[in-house]
Structure 1
C-alpha cells in the first residue's frame, strides 16, 4: 500500500470502527482527468445500509479535510460504498469470513489444467486452501497453494 494511503487508513479507521463498521479497502485512482479516493466499508452482521454510508462519508470527509499536510496532493472525489456481494478476499480476516462460502479464485498459473476455480472454501491455513468444486454432477476437493492465488473474491452460486 502506498504511504499516503497507509496514512489515510490510519486516520480514518478509528472513525469507521467507532461507528460499528469495518474498513474493507481503499484505493486512489485516476480516471480520465479526475482522481478518486474510494473507500469500501461494511458492517456485520447483515451488511451496511445507505444511511450509514452517507453518515460515514460525512465523518470521513471531515477527518480527511482536517489532515495536515494533505496526504493527497491533487483534488479528488471521495466515494464511500459497500464492497458488494462479490467483495474481494484480500487479508486473513477476509479468508476466515470466506470459510464455507462460495468463492471465485484466479491463479497465476494453471493447476490441474485450470487457472480459475469456483467452489465452497472448505479449509484454509497459511500455506493453502481447499476448495470443493463441482464438475458436472460430481464434487471434487482441490488443494490450492495460497502463493499461487492471483486474486480471490466472494461469488454468487448459480
Structure 2
C-alpha cells in the first residue's frame, strides 16, 4: 500500500524509512545498476502523488561524488537521461518494487542540488545551502548559509552573522542555493541546469 501524499518523503539517507510500502533497498537495487551502465550515479529518488504517482530519479555523472565535481561538471545530458529511463522502465516491471501505476522521470538534479549524505557536505564545502532542521539552531529551523568543514557528524554553516555546528542527523532536507554571478557571454549558459526524460508507465 502506498503512503498518503502527506506522508511522501524523498528516499534518502536523511530518511531511510521513507515511503511506507516501498522497500528502499529493493528499489535502489534496481535503479543503481541501470544508472551505472549508462555512466551515471543516483543522487536521489522520490515518489510523489501529483494527480498521479510519479517516480523521479535524479542522476549525475558517474564518479562525481568521489571526484568532488561541481554541479556543472557533474551534469548529465537529456540523451543520457532518456537512455536510463528507457532501460529502467522494463527493469522496474520485472522486479516490481512499487505497487500500482506511476510515471517514471529521470533527470539531473540541477544547480540547486539536494544534499543527501555526509560526503555531499564535504564535496560542496564553501557553497551556499539551505537547510531545514528538526531542531532550531540559533532560533531558526531554516538555515541559509555557506557550508564549512564536516566533523564528528556535524557540518559548520555560516549564515553571515554566526557559524553554527549543525548535526547531520537533525537535517530534514538540504540543497544548494544558486548564487547569481556575472552574466554569461552571448552564446553560452551557466552549467548544471536540470534536464529530464519522462517515460509513461504502462498500466
More strand per residue: 1
TM-score (norm 2): 0.66
Instruction: Please list every run of 5 or more consecutive structure 2 residues that lacks an aligned counterpart in the other structure.
Output: 1-17, 181-203
1:30 matched to 2:58? The reply is no
> Relative contact order (alpha carbons < 8 A, sep ≥ 6): 1 or 2 greater?
2
Report the counterpart of residue 8 of structure 1 in structure 2. 27
1:95 matched to 2:116? The reply is no
Report the counterpart of residue 111 of structure 1 in structure 2. 137
Please say if residues 121 and 147 of structure 2, whose CA atoms lie closer than 8 Å, have aligned partners that are also in contact. Answer: no
Q: Deviations over 1:45-81 (max 9, x none)?
A: 511111111111111123223x14x222212111111
Report the counterpart of residue 82 of structure 2 in structure 1. 54
State the alpha-carbon separation in 2 of the partners of residues 18 and 132 from structure 1: 39
SS class of match (1:54): helix
Report the counterpart of residue 110 of structure 2 in structure 1. 84
Aligned residues: 151
Report the counterpart of residue 40 of structure 1 in structure 2. 58
TM-score (norm 1): 0.82
Structure 1 stretches of at least 4 aligned residues deviating more than 4 Å after TM superposition: none
Instruction: Please list every run of 5 or more consecutive structure 1 residues that lacks an aligned counterpart in the other structure.
Output: none
SS class of match (1:48): coil
